[in-house]
Amino acid sequence: MEDLKDVFISPLPDSPYVKPFRFNYTQNGKQKSWDLLEVHDSVAIIVFNITRKVMVFVKQFRPAIYYNCISPEDRKSTTIDTSKYPASLGIALEMCAGIIDKDKSVEHIAQEEVLEECGYSVPLSGLHRITSYRSGVGVQGALQTFFYCEVTDAMKTEQGGGVDDELIEVVEKTIPEIEEMVNSPGPIPSPPSCLFALMWFLYNKADKFRKTYEHHCAECKKGKMVFVK
């Protein structure tokens, strides 16, 4: 993932992923315009492994983050110096997520993403639609639908890591590690949608799993063997 070379910046040709355009309008009698990007709607999924009480994240190189670490002066060079700007600058930690670029339901797209990126086979009934919200409201405003699912080690039927040329590392974090992450002064290498997902989880779900931890630890101290449910 961190083996990065031949980085250069070029003008945008016709793209299947983003379409830039100008939106013109008159508001309260004043003529205005706004420069926008048409992008695909998407899904994002919190995957929580209940066997080991860990949250499943995906780690991947994000060109947009990397680009924003390059100084305006260095962006003008014919090639970007990767010893000055290593790939690690652009590596993000996110929820499993994917664009809706197929004629399938959001549930089916979410199910595919969990399998492709994280390696877990989740039944459609195990995917709980939580809400949907607008991402990148300054320039995109695309809709992201957000799901929660619980998985077990037995549901890990594939390696994960993405399809085609995707390079994704699956990373697990405990509840205390998630708390540390959202309390960090930053910059946190994650999008706000991921941080929202973490706060949603901490607010709505974490207690149930914290109780089993605490019970487990207390009983262990007493020398008892306890099965964490």
Ligand X SMILES: O=c1ccn([C@@H]2O[C@H](COP(=O)(O)OP(=O)(O)O[C@H]3O[C@H](CO)[C@@H](O)[C@H](O)[C@H]3O)[C@@H](O)[C@H]2O)c(=O)[nH]1
Question: Where in 96-115 is the site for Mg ion (CB under 5 A)?
Answer: 97-98
Question: Where in 60-79 is the site for ligand X (CB under 6 A)?
Answer: none
- Residue 160 binding Mg ion, by CB under 5 A: no
Least distance from Mg ion to the Cβ atom of residue 60, Å: 7
Yes or no: say if 90 and 66 are a contact pair by the CB < 8 Å rule: yes
Q: Which of 17, 102, 158, 218 binds ligand X (CB under 6 A)?
A: 17
CA distances from 140 to 18, 19, 20, 40, 143 (A): 10, 10, 10, 9, 9
- Residue 139 binding ligand X, by CB under 6 A: no
Question: Which phi and psi angles does 29 have, rounded to 5°?
Answer: 80, 0
- Residue 44 binding ligand X, by CB under 6 A: yes
Q: Count the residues of the shown chain that bind ligand X, applying the rule CB under 6 A.
A: 14
| 54 three-class SS | strand
The whole-angstrom separation of Cα 45 and Cα 122 is 11
Closest CB to ligand X among 98 and 119? Answer: 98
Q: Give the count of beta carbons closer than 10 Å to the beta carbon of residue 167.
A: 12
Q: Residue 125: CB partners within 8 Å, gap ≥ 6?
A: none
- Residue 182 binding ligand X, by CB under 6 A: no
Closest CB to ligand X among 41 and 219? Answer: 41
Which positions lie near Mg ion, rule CB under 5 A? Answer: 97-98
Which positions lie near ligand X, rule CB under 6 A? Answer: 17, 42, 44, 94, 97-99, 135, 144, 164-166, 191, 193
